[in-house]
């Protein structure tokens, strides 16, 4: 009888252990770190819902890789920074000589963000606007799983988001092609050991939200961890060179994305769409309001530069890279609006 009780106890323990392990993997592994809860929303290691509120930072264009700028971004209360990376960058500490990006350069950015309670969203910018996503997205994926880059990032698997490639389609790809090539990219990253959330940009330079409505569920189901974020770049001007977006249409777009049930992020939200050096105004306040209403993340494009002011442009939130230098729409997005980063951001648990 005693032996039988011991056997039953051991059996019960094994069921509990393996049952929990299975659930953790399915839910993104709560003990692991950042995860997409039930395929619906981003959560931290404490299982708190995290709605991304932050900015894009062009670290590869900044002197000292933008470490000073990260200190300034922290003052907004941002809980995330989308870090622009390229395989080759101009090393301004050496007169702008083109240099291969190394893990040694990336790690301080990751550590700085984590120390400040900001999620590093790492994105590869090389294949922006690709006319052949089938050829170029695999190239981007390969970079993430090669050598020292993979070794570094796997050490931070609990704390990062991988944005495979920035806007890797210019609108040429069919829905089926977009779906299949992204599914292959996800499989490659998972097979390489990445258990972190993976962010995918929409087709058509990130602007075509309908690709997620038609293909998002299939892509999500293909990920064994269901640990994906679907990123729209909302260059939707009221009157623009490549399309006009009324407030009613934008609201309908949000409704459709909400009804999809997918974990949606607006990975680039800006005050204007710049085309051929012309600024086409976007109703960014409406976008911010709808993001808050629908619990969608947003990341403003982009912060601005302190030590490389020549990299600033019409969309720089601050022309000196400093918090006190925030101006106009950048200040509105970061601080002043009721739906600003400062007013709505909640940071991850530690």
- Which tokens hold the place of 201? 């940009």
Give the pLDDT mean for 125-134: 98
pLDDT per residue as tens digits for the range 26-84:
433 445 799 999 999 999 999 999 999 999 999 999 988 999 999 999 999 999 999 99
**Percentage of the chain exceeding pLDDT 90:** 87
Q: What is the pLDDT of residue 31?
A: 53
The number of beta carbons lying within 10 Å of the beta carbon of residue 214 is 14
State the burial class of residue 296 (Cβ atoms within 10 Å of its Cβ: 0-12, 13-18, 19+). Answer: buried
pLDDT per residue as tens digits for the range 204-262:
999 999 999 999 999 999 999 999 999 999 999 999 999 999 999 999 999 999 999 99
Compute the residue count for the chain.
350
Nearest to 105 by CA among 119, 87, 121, 117: 87
C-beta separation of 118 from 80 below 8 A = yes
**Cα–Cα distances in angstroms (integers) from residue 35 to residues 49, 139, 196, 229, in the given order:** 10, 25, 7, 10
């Amino acid at each position: 009888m005693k032996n039988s009780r011991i056997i039953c106890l051991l059996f019960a323990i094994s069921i509990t252990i393996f049952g929990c392990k299975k659930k953790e993997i399915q839910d993104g592994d709560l003990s692991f770190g950042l995860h997409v809860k039930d395929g619906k929303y981003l959560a931290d290691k404490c299982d708190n819902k995290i709605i991304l509120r932050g900015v894009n930072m062009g670290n590869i264009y900044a002197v000292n890789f933008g470490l000073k700028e990260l200190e300034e971004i922290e003052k907004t209360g941002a809980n995330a920074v989308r870090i622009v990376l390229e395989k080759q960058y101009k090393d301004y500490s050496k007169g702008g000589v083109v240099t291969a990006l190394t893990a040694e350069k990336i790690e301080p950015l990751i550590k700085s963000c984590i120390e400040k309670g900001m999620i590093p969203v790492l994105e590869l910018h090389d294949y922006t606007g690709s006319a052949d996503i089938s050829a170029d997205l695999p190239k981007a994926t390969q970079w993430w799983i090669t050598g020292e880059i993979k070794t570094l990032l796997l050490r931070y698997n609990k704390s990062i988001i991988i944005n495979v490639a920035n806007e890797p389609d210019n609108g040429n790809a069919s829905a089926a092609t977009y779906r299949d090539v992204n599914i292959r990219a996800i499989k490659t990253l998972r097979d390489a050991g990445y258990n972190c959330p993976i962010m995918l940009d929409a087709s058509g330079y990130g602007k075509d939200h309908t690709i997620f409505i038609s293909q998002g569920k299939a892509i999500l189901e293909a990920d064994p961890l269901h640990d994906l974020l679907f990123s729209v770049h909302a260059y939707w001007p009221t009157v623009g060179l490549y399309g006009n977006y009324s407030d009613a249409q934008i609201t309908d777009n949000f409704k459709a994305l909400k009804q999809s049930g997918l974990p949606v992020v607006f990975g680039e939200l800006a005050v204007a769409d710049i085309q051929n050096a012309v600024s086409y105004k976007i109703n960014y306040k409406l976008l911010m309001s709808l993001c808050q209403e629908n619990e969608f993340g947003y990341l403003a494009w982009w912060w601005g530069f302190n030590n490389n002011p020549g990299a600033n442009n019409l969309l720089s939130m601050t022309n000196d890279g400093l918090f006190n230098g925030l101006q106009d729409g950048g200040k509105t997005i970061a601080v002043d609006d009721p739906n600003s980063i400062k007013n709505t951001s909640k940071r991850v648990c530690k």
